[in-house]
Structure formats: C-alpha cells, structure tokens
C-alpha cells in the first residue's frame, strides 16, 4: 500500500497494542547512524524530560491514565513546533489541552543540527509498565 510513496511503516509495540508510525524510507536507512546519537549528547533525554514536566504541570494532561503518541519538531530556539497527536487519548478536551501544553514547551538549548526530526514520543499509562511518574519528572525531592 505504501509502495512508491517514499514512506515506510515502523511498528511500535507496547504490551498488546501496536502503533504504526510512517517515516520517510530514507530516514529508516539512516536509523543506525541516528541510533548512535553521535553529537546529540543527551538532548533526547532532556527533551523527553521537559515534555514530561510540561504535561505533569497540567491537571488535565498529567500522564498516568492515558496512552498517546505525540509528534513534534524543535526549532533552532528550542521551541516545540507543529505538535500533533498521532494517538488520541480518548478525551477530546485532554487532546486539545495537550496540544496547547506542547506548544508552550521550550528548551534552553537549540537542538543539535543532526537531530532527526520530526520526533515521536509515546506516553503510556503508569499501570502499563513501571516508569517515570510526574513527581519524579518534576524534580521534587523526597520528603
């Protein structure tokens, strides 16, 4: 079905669910180079933490009970641009609020020039696997 489009489908498995993400065929061929992260020096982790912190800062978008697949780009000023939900949460009001929250995310540093874009981030319910919870992402210290 994708033949001749220049796109390939990449499977993202989470538990029993499978999401297909479309990527340019050339990007798939370059994946091994991108996977090494070269000069990215922790930028993907920083970006993920900042997005998580922003989502945690809003009661409606606070991760924990929903699953969503996010896609966005980061401009030369560190601002998230063109956020999209590739996987909706099931709550239209939350979906709209998530887009607003993502539009407000800005990092202190510009992305490395070799950062592959757009970026995709999967948000999972906390009961689906053990992982980061909002209080940890927000950097609160234990009492």
What sign does the CA torsion over 121, 47, 118, 91 have? positive
Element (H or E) spanning 97, and its range?
A: helix 92-103
DSSP string, 16-84: TEEEEEEEEHHHHHTHHHHHT-GGGTTHHHHHHHHHHHHHHTSTTT-SSS--EEEEEEE-TTSBEEEEE
User: Tens digit of pLDDT per residue, the chain (143 long)?
Assistant: 556 666 666 665 544 555 556 566 665 444 444 444 445 668 888 899 999 999 999 999 999 889 999 999 999 999 999 999 998 999 999 999 999 999 999 999 889 988 889 999 998 887 645 555 786 444 433 33
Q: Which helix (H) or strand (E) holds 120?
A: strand 119-123
| Domain ranges within the chain, ordered by starting residue | 43-143
Which CATH code, of 3.30.2170, 2.60.40, 3.40.50, 3.30.1150, is assigned to 43-143?
Answer: 3.30.1150
């Amino acid at each position: 079905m994708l033949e001749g489009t220049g796109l390939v489908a990449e499977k993202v498995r989470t538990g029993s669910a499978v999401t297909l993400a479309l990527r340019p065929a050339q990007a798939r061929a370059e994946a091994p180079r991108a996977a090494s992260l070269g000069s990215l020096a922790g930028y993907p982790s920083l970006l993920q933490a900042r997005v998580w912190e922003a989502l945690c800062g809003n009661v409606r978008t606070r991760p924990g009970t929903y699953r969503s697949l996010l896609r966005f780009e980061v401009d030369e000023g560190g601002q998230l641009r063109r956020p999209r939900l590739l996987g909706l949460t099931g709550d239209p009001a939350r979906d709209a609020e998530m887009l607003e929250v993502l539009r407000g995310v800005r990092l202190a540093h510009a992305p490395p020039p070799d950062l592959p874009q757009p970026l995709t981030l999967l948000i999972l319910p906390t009961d689906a696997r053990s992982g980061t919870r909002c209080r940890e992402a927000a950097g609160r210290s234990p009492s």
